[in-house]
Amino acid sequence: MTDTAAHPLQPAIRRATLDDLPEVVRLFSLPDEGNTKREDPGPPLPACYAEALERIADDPHNALLVADLEGRIVGAFHLTIIQYVAYMGGRVAMIENVIVEPELRSRGVGEVMMRWAIDEARRRGCFRVQLTTNKVRKRAHQFYERLGFTKSHEGMKLSL
């Protein structure tokens, strides 16, 4: 048996394109611990996904990013830069919808994605990076804590 942790993968992180959407939506639709998304990966892929990506691409403070491993999409996440008036006009980077192909978890893909996001937050002058993660995703919590994230706030949501 090969020790996959000894051979971390090094995907390239880049903005998602329309061609990436079927694979990104497939990843978001996978059954996963705490996944409450109800995505429709098609085929055909519903137009709402391309419309959303176009709106994201038009906003310089938003990005849907993918982890591309030799032409294969193996992960994705959404990065939003929030401009505050508080914190002396500071900026915060918000990471959402982090997903890694299940059979490639614990191979370094998530770490490459998060380190890229942290570096991008620094580049954009952010004073903090924050994320939310479902309370039932214990392995994800351990992963984020290993990267230096702390459980500092209690999140709340209101479904509309």
pTM of the model: 0.89
| pLDDT tens-digit readout, 62-92 | 999 999 999 999 999 999 999 999 999 999 9
Q: Which domains does the chain have, with CATH numbers?
A: 11-146 (3.40.630.30)
| pLDDT tens-digit readout, 22-62 | 999 999 998 876 666 688 888 999 999 999 999 999 999 99
Q: SS3 for the chain, per residue?
A: CCCHHHCCCCCEEEECCHHHHHHHHHHHHCCCCCCCCCCCCCCCCCHHHHHHHHHHHCCCCEEEEEEEECCEEEEEEEEEEEECCHHHHCEEEEEEEEEECHHHCCCCHHHHHHHHHHHHHHHCCEEEEEECCCCCCHHHHHHHHHCCCCCCCCCCCCCC
